[in-house]
Structure 1
C-alpha cells in the first residue's frame, strides 16, 4: 500500500476543498475590487510603485515557469520543483500586490486609439479571462504534486503551464501598454 496516497496524507481532502474555494473566491474578490475600488480604500496609502512591482513579479514568474518546464523536460525533478515553487511564490506576491494596488486606486483607462486600442483590449480581455481560471489551475496542479498524484499533476499541468505563462507574459504587456496613462 502506498503510504503517500492522497487518502493517507492528513487533511488532503481539506486541501482540495481549500484549493477549490480559493480558486473561486480570489477571482471574485478581484472583480469586486475592480467594480468597487473605493470599498477598501485607505487614505494616504502609498501604492504608486506597485504596478511596476507587479510587472517585475509577473516577469519573474514567467522566467521561473519556463525554467521549471526546461528542468522537467530534462527529468531534473528537484530543480523543476524549486522553479515551480518559486513561480508560485512570485505569483502569490503578485496577487497580494495587485489586490493592494487595486483596493486603493481606480482602474486606469487606456488612452490609445485605433488598432493599438483593439490590440490592447484583446490582450487585456484574454488576460483577465484566463487569469480568473489560473488560480484554481495552479492550486490543483500544486495539490496533485504535493500529494504525489503525478499522473493527475501532469494531466492538469499541460493546461496550467501555457495558461499561467500566457497570463504572466500578457500581464507585463498590459502594464507597458497602460503605463503611459497612469496619473
Structure 2
C-alpha cells in the first residue's frame, strides 16, 4: 500500500473512533481485503480458512480499536493483530509456527523500544556497534520503516533487516532475555 493509502485508512479509523459509521464500514471493508490477502499468502498448506482469520482479526480490531495510537501508522497495527490471529489459529491446529524475522522486524523493534525506559535507551544503544545503533535508532526510536532506513543509509532492505535483527538480539541478550527460551 502507498503512503496515501495508509493516510486514508488512518483517517477512516480516526473518523470511526469519533463515531462515523460510514467511515467505520469503509475502514472494515478495506481492512478485510488487506487481511484476506495477507492470510492467503501465509496459509500455504491449508487447514485454516483465510476467512476465519479475516473475521477473527476484524473482531479483534473492533474490540481493541481504542488501543490504536492515532499518531502511529495503522497498517503495522493491523498486521500485528493479523499475525497474532494466524499464530493462534496454527496453535489450535497443533502446528509449529515459524515466521521469518523480516515479517515481524518492525513490530519487534517497536515492542523492544516500548519495554526499555527512556533513561536506558542511550545506555542500550551505546552497547551496539555503530551500524546496528544507526539502524535500531532509525527504526525503533525514530519510527522509520525498513525501506526508508535502507534508502537513508544506502543499504538493501535485507541488510537493514539483518542489522536490525542483530541489534535487537544484542539488546535482548544485554537485558537477560534468552532468545532460545520458548
Larger relative contact order, structure 1 or 2 (CA cutoff 8 Å, min sep 6)? 1
Taking structure 2 as the reference length, the TM-score comes to 0.29
